[in-house]
Structure 1
Amino acid sequence: MSKYIPGNQKHLTLNDRIYIENELAKGTTFKDIAAFLCKDPTTISKEVRTHRLSDWYHKGTFYNAKNFCIHRYHCQKTNACGKILLCGIKCASCPTCNQTCKDFEKERCKRLDKAPYVCNGCTKKINHCTIAHKYYYNGRAADRKYRELLISSRSGINMTKHQLHQKDQIISPLIEQGQSPYQILTNHPELDMSVRSMYTYIDKGLLTARNIDLKRQAKFKPRKCHKTQITDRSVFTHRTYSDFCSLDLSSFVEMDTVHSSRESNKTLLTLFFTKEKLFLAFLLNRCTKGAVRLTFDRLEKRLGTYEFISVFENILTDRGSEFGDPVSLETGIQGIQRSSIYYCDPMRSGQKGAIEQAHTMLRMVLPKGTSFEFLTQWDVNLIVNHINSTPREILSGRTPYEVALETLGEDILKAFQLKPIEPDKVNLTPKLIRFNH
C-alpha cells in the first residue's frame, strides 16, 4: 500500500463501494479491485459477503415459487408427506415439499459459495437462471448499512438499566456528600468502572448526580482542541529550531496549514517567503502527509528540480502530523534532496510569526468557521493574488509580487500561477469569493 495515498485507510468510502459494484458487474477479480483501492483482497471479500443483499426471484422455478429442490423439474413423487391418502398432485408443486421429502437437495450456485459471492456480472441471463435465492451487491445500500451499524455500535452504554440503577444508588449519595469519583471507586471496587467512565455518565445525565454536584467540575472551561502533533520524535533529529537558527539564514520559507470548518476535510497548505513576503496557498483534499507530498511533487514538476531547490532550499514549519514525514518531503521525484525541513519548538507558533501574520489577511477573506468544501484552487489563487498585490510598509510601499518579480523571476511566478491585481481592485473581504460563484 502506498504511504502517499490520502486518508487513514481504515474505512471504505461510498465511492469505494460504488467502484466495487461497478467492477463486479464487469467480472473484475477481488485482487484487481483491492489493488486499485490499495486494500487487501480479504477486505473486499469480507465487504461483499457482509453487505450483499438477498433477492427472492420467482421466475424460472417449477410450479412452486418456494421450491428449492434440485430435482423439482423431473420429480414424479406424489403424497410424499403421507397426510392425504388420495393426493394426485405432484409434490414439486406443494408448498411443504422441501420440508417433508427425504430426497430434498437444495439447489446451489457455485458462484455464491465462492468469489465473487454475488450475482453481479453473472453471464447467465436472469430469465434463464433457475436459482431462486440470489445475492446482489449494491454500493449505496452497503454504505448506508455500514454507517447505520457504525453509529449504533457506538451509541449508548454497555450496561443494563438495572445495573445502572444499582450503581447510581451507590454513587449519587456519596457525590452529594462531597466525595470525588476517585474516592468512591477506591472504596467501592465492586462498581467495576473507571474514573473517566463515571465522569462521562455524570456528564451525560445517566446518574442522579449532576456536574454541578461535583466539587470542581463547574470551574473548568472546555479544553481547546490543538492540532495533532508528530508522535515519532526521531524525525526531529538535526531538524529542531536551534539547528535552524545555527544556519543564520537571511531568506527561507515558512510552511503551515489552515483548516476548514468541521463540516469539511479540505485544508489549505500555505507557504510564505520571508524575504519577499510572498504568500502561496494550495488546496488539499485531506490534511495528510501524502497530500502534502503530492503538492511538493506537483510544484517540482512545474518549476523543475533545480529551480525548486533554489526556491525551497530551507523550510521552517510546525509539528503538525501532516509534516511528520520530512524525508519524503525533502526527497525529489528523481531521488535528489530538494529541500531541508526544520521544526519549531512545541507550542511556539511565534517562531514562524511571519506566516501567522499572513494568515490574518487570509482570514479576512475566509473567516474562521468558513467551509472549504466548495472552494477550488482557482478561488485560492485569486485570494493569493489579492494578498500579494497589497503594499507592505516593510517593503517600502511595494507589493510582494513586485519584489518577488525581481528576486525570483517571472517564470517562477507563472509556475506559481500568480499575477498582479490593480491597486483599486484589491479586495480582502469575503465578497471576493462570493462574487465569483
Structure 2
Amino acid sequence: MKNSRRNFIRTSAAFTAAVGVGATFPSAFSMAMPGAQKKIRVGAIGINGMGWADLKAILKHPDTECTALCDVDKNVLDKRKKELADEGIKPKGYGNYKDLLAAKDVDVVVIGTPDHWHCLQLIDACAAGKDVYVEKPLGNSIAECEAMVKAARKYDRIVQVGQWQRSQKHFRDAVDFVHSGKLGEIRLVKAWAYQGWMKSIPVKPDGPAPEGVDYAGWLGPAEKRPFNPNRFHFEFRWFWDYAGGLMTDWGVHMLDYALIGMKATTPRSVMASGGKFAYPDDAAETPDTLTTVFEFDDFNVQWEHANGIDGGPYGRNHGVAFIGNKGTLVLNRDGWEVIPEKDRMEAVPLQKKVDNGLDLHAVNFIEAVQQRDKSLLHCPVEAGAHIAVFSQMGNIAYRTGKKIYWDASKKNFNDSDADKLIAASYHNGYKIPVL
C-alpha cells in the first residue's frame, strides 16, 4: 500500500477536523470479566426490533439488570414487559423517554428507536448522566453526528454504537490479512447488500394511529403527516423523514469494514446513481437499487444495494470484497476467504465465523462502562459518526444527482443543493441542541 495509507492515523486529521469525528479501528479484545460489583441498571428506549435484541444481549452479562422500558407504542411496551415478567424481571414502563432518563434507577440506556430520534435521545441521555448503547446508524444527518460526538465528549459518557461486526473475530482476522499486503495493491473495494427478503411496500391509505400509540411522540422532530402504516415500525427505513434506506441501514455495516481495511477516511468525491427500479410504484421513497462510488487517491470504494434479489457479487447477498492485484478477499457475516488472481497467490478457504458478534459487542460495552474506559469500546461514538457521515454522503450524492466534494475547511460541499442536506430538517418545535 502507498504511503498515504500507511500513514493513515497521522493524516486522517482532515476528516476529523471537518465534522469532529475520525475513523476508529476496533480495539483489541478484552473479554476478562470484572469481579463482583454493583449491578448496572439498564433502561431501553424503543424496544420493538433491534432495541430489544440489544437489551437482551446486554442482559446476558451477569452484572446487569433491566429496570426500565420505554416505547411510544403501549402495545409493544406491554408485550415486552410481559416477556421480561415471565423471566422474573419487572422493569418500570414509560411512554415518554424523558421520564425514563429522569429515573434514578437507570445507569445505562439502550436507544433502539427510528434513526430520526437517535440524536435528541442520545444527547438528552448524555446530559442526564447516562451511558448509552445506540443503534446504527448513529445519526440521520451529518450535523446530527457532529452534535452527538460533542455531547458524548462534553458529558464524558461511554457511548457504544451498535455496529457489532467490530466485535467479531473473523472480521478482525480478515482485516489483518488485508493489512498484511498479501493481496497486493488494492485498487477497488466493493461493499454491497442485496436483500431478497425486502419486498415491495404496497401503497396504503392514511388513517388513525393504532390505539395505544403516541403518534406525536413517534414523529418527534420529523415532519407532521397523517399516520400511515407504511411509515411505522420497521418500514420507517424507506422514508427520508426518518432514515436513509439501505445506504445507511446496511451501508454503515459493510462500508465500515471497507474503510477499516483500507485505513481510509474522507473520499475525494462521491457520486451515485440508482432509483426505484424494482418497485417504481410502491410506497417507499428511498432507492431500491443504488450504486455509489467513493473516490480516494489511489483506489475506489463502490457500494451496491438492491431490494428483492439475493444475487450479489461472489454469490453472497451482502459483503465486502478487497480486490488486489494478487487476489481478492471476500468478507461477510458468515466468514471470509481469499480468491487468488490466477497463480499470483495461494487461495485461503472459507474461514467461518466462530462467535456471536452482538453478544460480544454488548459485553464490550458493559466492560467499558464498568472500567470507565472509552478506549475499550469496539465502536465508540466517533467511529459510529464517521461511517454514518460517510454513508450520508452517498445518499446526498444520490439525492442531488451530482458528483459532490466535501470541503473540510468550510464543513460543506460548496454546493447549495448538497449543503441543504447536511442537517436534517427538524419540525414540531424540536431543534438540535447547540453544544
TM-score normalised by length of structure 1: 0.21
Task: Select the structure that is richer in helix.
Answer: 1
Specify the structure having the higher radius of gyration (Cα).
Answer: 1
Task: Select the structure that is richer in strand.
Answer: 2
